[in-house]
Structure 1
Amino acid sequence: MTVTGTARIATLDIVRGIAVMGILAMNIVDFAMPTQAYMNPAAYGTNSTADLAAWIFAFIFVDGKMRGLFSLLFGASMLLVIEGAEAKGENATAIHYRRMLWLGAIGLLHYYLIWHGDILFGYAVAGMVAAFFYQKSPQALIVWGVGFAVVQFALFAAISASFFIAEAEAAKPGSSAEALAAWQDIERDFGRPGGAEIAKELALFRGSYAGILEHRVTVQLFAPAKGLFLFSWETIGYMLFGMAALKTGFLRGTWARNAYARTVAIGFGLGIPVYALLAWLMIRADFHAATLFALWGAATVPMRPAMILATAALIILATRHRGALVARIAAAGRTAFTNYLGTSILMTTLFFGYGFGLFGHFGRAALWLVIIPAWALMLLWSRPWLDRFRYGPLEWAWRSLARGALQPMRRHVEAPA
């Protein structure tokens, strides 16, 4: 998540800063509302035109794009760490896999003890796989990345087909209890859960920490492993795209202005109309569970890389002249690990029952009243911290664990003459 070499690449830090801020804009739905609302706006939290507009905006510009952007940057940073270790004559493989093992352990602690939406464990496993490709050419990395994305698309397309089959089986006269139960499970997880199901989840997350923890280690014990199977293919692909983007200079900010502008025009010119069409089709289908998964899950996979690259190119273009705000965004990117985990602690304290208990009390549009102050907090603390210290607190802990020794933390400032 952070570049540990001596010569930092400012572009990576800036794009990472936007990505970690953007991830909060999507994750906050899962912090603040029942789980089904993350995918299906009809499940909870959409009670007005403003709420629906907030969902449309997030679906087109945020959902999947910030996670993909983060994956891209993870692959690029991973490549820098490996190549930096090789340049120093260190055992790059050992360093990389120690980093991933510790990241995976931190991710599991994050999942079980803090929040069920963890991505770190999945990133650690994906990073172990992606490392096998780091010596390949940009062209080969892109080909392999496309291959992993195709697997992701095929998997989600197969799941979508199974949902439609389950619905058809449940609709048959005299259908079995098993067929009815299978469709009811899909409706509960991806459609509109009944009032009793919503009430149960509201009670859980407005309740005690002990109750939430018990739920994670019983009902959701194997969720991290399921997440690996469902989402790692695309994550690995994006990491390979990130390596290619670093090797070609795209993520170093060295492309010509018109090349970035062309990437923005093509990516958004293709992606925005497609995503807008998918949003319209979901609204038209009244967020029917099987249709929703087919459009939200499978249909977005082929178009998402274009939107991710266009977003990265736009950030690079918009921040080329730097300035005070851009410097703060870059600092938030350098402390992305701390900002990501810190956000989980802050948001669960705000929304869950063992904190302020606001779970289920916000609509989608109103959540921006939380998102914007949280962004401001990231920008306010990261820069002053890095003026005094070399790393963010958790970046330092991760680096020390991976290297088996406490790393220097404080910056050495020369005394005035």
Structure 2
Amino acid sequence: MSSTTDGRSSTERTGERLEAGQGQVRRIADVDALRGFALLGILLVNFSVMATTHHGGGLVDASFDGPLHQAWRYLSTVLLESKFYLLFSFLFGYSFTLQIRSAERAGARPVPRFLRRCAALLVIGVLHATLLYPGDILITYSILGVVLLTVRGIRPRTAVRASISVFVFCAVAFLVLGWLTWAGHLDMGGDPSRADALAAQEALRGGFGSVVGQFVSEQPGGALMTVVVQGTPAFAAFLLGLAAGKRKVLADPLRHRDLLRRIQRVGFPVGLAGSVVYAHLAKSDTGMETTGLAMAVNMLTAPLLSAAYAATVLRMLSGGRHDRLGRALAPAGRMALTNYLTQSLVMALLFTGYGFALVGRVAPVLVTAIALTLFAVQLVISRWWLSTHAYGPVEWVLRAVTNARRPRWRQRARTESG
């Protein structure tokens, strides 16, 4: 994630680097604000995952099986699950185009730069998955980033069509898997049992070795789920971001106000309806037959709801009256990688034997409240940090590896532009 101070006024919003007139470079806050918004959604989902080991197959922790807990989990599934990583993936693809242009402006070769970036993300992802959070997405991003690099010459219209085809293919594949299982032609294996969930819970409440051992043991199954359930749709979102980046759609969202309205009008009713169906099917314990249908519906409708969320935020940011929202979210978005890893560290300290070992001991509503509190703190810290530093700590390291040279650490003093 690139960063710059360009001598614009002290109220200039910060964001992704884009070209602006006569070869100058300015920053657009909307991209960073969107990334900050996506980071919040990812945090809420990850917190709910880390707080319990009762996942899949209709498993519910007996300690939190009351009507309020069930309603809260259902609402979270409808509004949050599978939505925000798609938005984050879209922004990865969009930022890819910015990084390519940045390398070209600097007279550097963009391919080696981006490959170094992917290699750094891979290393960070492996450490993250092993030590802090087994549901890491950085490893997937690093691998799919290389694939994105190979198709960077694709035309925007072709990229959009390819993205839609990938989502449809995933939906059809899940339908076929569900039908094959229902017809008895395929055995997908047993769902996780309550005994498995309790064993994992005890392991996470243990010492350092026990926690790391549990994280490592989850990697094979987690990797398969990441590739099938998240990786392929994430790449489809990469392609949409690539297309939008080539068209510089986020350089001036006001130019696309009508498009944003259409996305909202279609995305919210269709996306929410699909999410309700997905949530209803996902909570039932009927095996791959129902899961396949649930995932198929989700593959086709979650991108629409994710797009509607993004369109709503962009319209709010472009309205003038909500400038405070952009100023609050953008710094967190600029430090997204630092904040993402920090969130995982806090989750590990709260829910595992690294710290308080609260896994399975916190009600879903309270889990959400803790996550929101953490994000509020991160908003404040991010703004404070970037007032004196050019990059977030992890972003500084990533930029150093990407550009193969040491970037500046402190923020340059801002001056009023004439």
TM-score, length-normalised on structure 2?
Answer: 0.86
Given that 1:36 and 1:44 are in contact with CA atoms closer than 8 Å, whether structure 2 keeps it comes out as no
Identify the residue that residue 16 of structure 1 maps to in structure 2.
Answer: 35
Given that 1:133 and 1:240 are in contact with CA atoms closer than 8 Å, whether structure 2 keeps it comes out as no
Counterpart check, 1:31 vs 2:50: yes
Equivalent of residue 305 in structure 2, options 304, 307, 330: 307
CA 113–282 in structure 1, closer or farther in 2 if over 3 Å, else same: closer
Query: Partner of 1:301: helix, strand, or coil?
Result: helix
CA 44–146 in structure 1, closer or farther in 2 if over 3 Å, else same: farther
CA 302–368 in structure 1, closer or farther in 2 if over 3 Å, else same: same
* Paired residues for 1:26-175 under 5 Å: 26-34=45-53, 36=55, 40=58, 42=60, 46-165=64-183, 168=184
2:105 maps to a residue whose letter is A
Identify the residue that residue 241 of structure 2 maps to in structure 1.
Answer: 242
CA 254–138 in structure 1, closer or farther in 2 if over 3 Å, else same: farther
The farther-off stretch of 391-400 and 226-235 is 226-235
2:315 maps to a residue whose letter is L
1:375 maps to a residue whose letter is F
CA 96–49 in structure 1, closer or farther in 2 if over 3 Å, else same: same
Identify the residue that residue 406 of structure 1 maps to in structure 2.
Answer: 406
The farther-off stretch of 369-378 and 117-126 is 369-378
- Measure, in 2, the Cα distance between the counterparts of 1:379 and 1:42: 33
CA 297–28 in structure 1, closer or farther in 2 if over 3 Å, else same: same
Given that 1:151 and 1:233 are in contact with CA atoms closer than 8 Å, whether structure 2 keeps it comes out as no
Q: CA deviation at 1:162?
A: 4.5
Given that 2:205 and 2:211 are in contact with CA atoms closer than 8 Å, whether structure 1 keeps it comes out as no
- Measure, in 2, the Cα distance between the counterparts of 1:53 and 1:230: 24
Counterpart check, 1:341 vs 2:360: no
> Across the two proteins, how many residue pairs are aligned to each other?
394
1:345-369 deviation line (CA, Å, top 9, x unaligned): 0111011012011110123222122
* Paired residues for 1:174-253 under 5 Å: 185-188=189-192, 193-194=193-194, 196-217=195-216, 220=219, 223-224=222-223, 227-228=226-227, 230-252=229-251, 253=253
Structure 2, unmatched stretches of 5+, are 3-15, 19-24
1:410 maps to a residue whose letter is R
- Measure, in 2, the Cα distance between the counterparts of 1:125 and 1:25: 25
Q: CA deviation at 1:407?
A: 1.0
Q: CA deviation at 1:203?
A: 0.5
1:245 maps to a residue whose letter is A
1:101-152 deviation line (CA, Å, top 9, x unaligned): 1111111111112210100000111111112232322211101112322333
- Measure, in 2, the Cα distance between the counterparts of 1:240 and 1:376: 31
- Measure, in 2, the Cα distance between the counterparts of 1:34 and 1:146: 34
Identify the residue that residue 9 of structure 2 maps to in structure 1.
Answer: none
- Measure, in 2, the Cα distance between the counterparts of 1:44 and 1:186: 20
- Measure, in 2, the Cα distance between the counterparts of 1:52 and 1:96: 44
Q: CA deviation at 1:280?
A: 3.6
2:32 maps to a residue whose letter is D
Equivalent of residue 298 in structure 1, options 281, 296, 299: 296
CA 42–251 in structure 1, closer or farther in 2 if over 3 Å, else same: farther
Given that 1:33 and 1:44 are in contact with CA atoms closer than 8 Å, whether structure 2 keeps it comes out as no
Query: Partner of 1:255: helix, strand, or coil?
Result: helix
- Measure, in 2, the Cα distance between the counterparts of 1:79 and 1:45: 48
1:212-261 deviation line (CA, Å, top 9, x unaligned): 22234456368546633553221111001112223344433243433312
Query: Partner of 1:89: helix, strand, or coil?
Result: coil
- Measure, in 2, the Cα distance between the counterparts of 1:217 and 1:32: 18
- Measure, in 1, the Cα distance between the counterparts of 2:110 and 2:62: 47
- Measure, in 2, the Cα distance between the counterparts of 1:219 and 1:325: 38
Q: CA deviation at 1:297?
A: 2.2
- Measure, in 2, the Cα distance between the counterparts of 1:278 and 1:214: 32
Aligned residues: CA RMSD:
2.6
- Measure, in 1, the Cα distance between the counterparts of 2:27 and 2:89: 18
Q: CA deviation at 1:374?
A: 1.0
Given that 2:211 and 2:353 are in contact with CA atoms closer than 8 Å, whether structure 1 keeps it comes out as no
Structure 1, unmatched stretches of 5+, are 170-178
